[in-house]
A = this chain, B = another copy of it.
Amino acid sequence: MAERSAWRHLFTLLKLAEMGAHRRTAKISTEYLARKLEMSQQTASRHLIELENQGWIRRAITPEGCLIKITDTGVRELKRLYSNLRFLIEAAYPPSVTLEGVVFTGLGEGAYYITRGHYRKQFMEKLGFVPYPGTLNLKLTTDYDVKSYSELEAYPAIEIEGFKSENRTFGSVKCYPVIIENKAKGALISALRSHYDASVIEVIAPVFLRKHLNLKDGHKVKVEVLTLP
């Protein structure tokens, strides 16, 4: 989609396809096309010229109209639009949800939990990294973010199984892969403890995020949560 007018042309292309020009050479006069697109004959003519220059159609002009065939490139454009739409309409979940929160210092409990052996092993297996021994705490700033976060609950997550030690029980944990500040990969861990505050999220990563991204308390951080296919 190089030029701005490309979008307009895509619709003209769509109409041509509706006339069958994507599978066989179709005889379509500029006047006929113009009526179908509710535009003038001159504009239709110009669009065809531009579509041809763009390489989306091939054309032969006869005294009875144009013989038009959409090229493979043109068909590819239509298919791209189609798969975009299919993804949107058929998909049960959005591809990602972006949350924004403010960095704060917690009680350091997160570090204790995520360094337990059974958790660590599963992080490696299921997330592909061993987390830095500490979590980045973020306080969600707006109701919008809190609401987005709560909607995440309904989406499929990576399950980290719980286990029992001599003294106590460690519950199961839900993880979502995330991208922090468009730079670092990591994961959001949910329900580590029983939701003591629905407006707080904890993020783990293979690196020390505070240092890696130069974060200090009070900084705003964007976290893009990737939902699973």
Spell out A's residues near B (CB within 8 Å).
4, 7-8, 11, 14, 17-18, 20, 22-25, 27, 38-39, 64, 67, 78-79, 81-82, 84-86, 88-89, 94-97, 142, 144, 147-148, 151
Q: Are B85 and A85 in contact (CB under 8 A)?
A: yes
Q: Are A64 and B27 in contact (CB under 8 A)?
A: no
Q: How many copies does the complex hold?
A: 2
Q: Are B7 and A7 in contact (CB under 8 A)?
A: yes
Q: Are A85 and B89 in contact (CB under 8 A)?
A: no
Q: Are B151 and A17 in contact (CB under 8 A)?
A: no
Q: Are B78 and A82 in contact (CB under 8 A)?
A: no
Minimal beta-carbon separation of A221 from chain B (angstroms): 15
Q: Which of B39, B67, B89, B96 contacts A144 (CB 8 A)?
A: B67
Q: How far is the CA of A27 from the CA of B96 in the complex (A)?
A: 13
Question: Which partner residue on chain B sits nearest A142 by CB separation?
Answer: B64
Given the interface pairs A4-B38, A7-B7, A38-B4, the reply to whether A88 lies near B22 with Cβ below 8 Å is yes
Q: Are A14 and B85 in contact (CB under 8 A)?
A: yes
Q: Are B18 and A88 in contact (CB under 8 A)?
A: yes
Residues of B within 8 A of A25 (CB): 144, 147
Q: Are B82 and A86 in contact (CB under 8 A)?
A: yes
Q: How far is the CA of A7 from the CA of B78 in the complex (A)?
A: 15
| 26 sample A-B contacts, Cβ–Cβ < 8 Å, listed by A number | A7-B7, A7-B8, A7-B11, A14-B84, A14-B85, A14-B88, A17-B88, A18-B84, A18-B95, A20-B94, A20-B96, A20-B97, A24-B148, A24-B151, A27-B142, A64-B142, A67-B144, A78-B88, A78-B89, A79-B89, A81-B85, A82-B82, A82-B85, A82-B86, A85-B85, A86-B86
Minimal beta-carbon separation of A42 from chain B (angstroms): 15
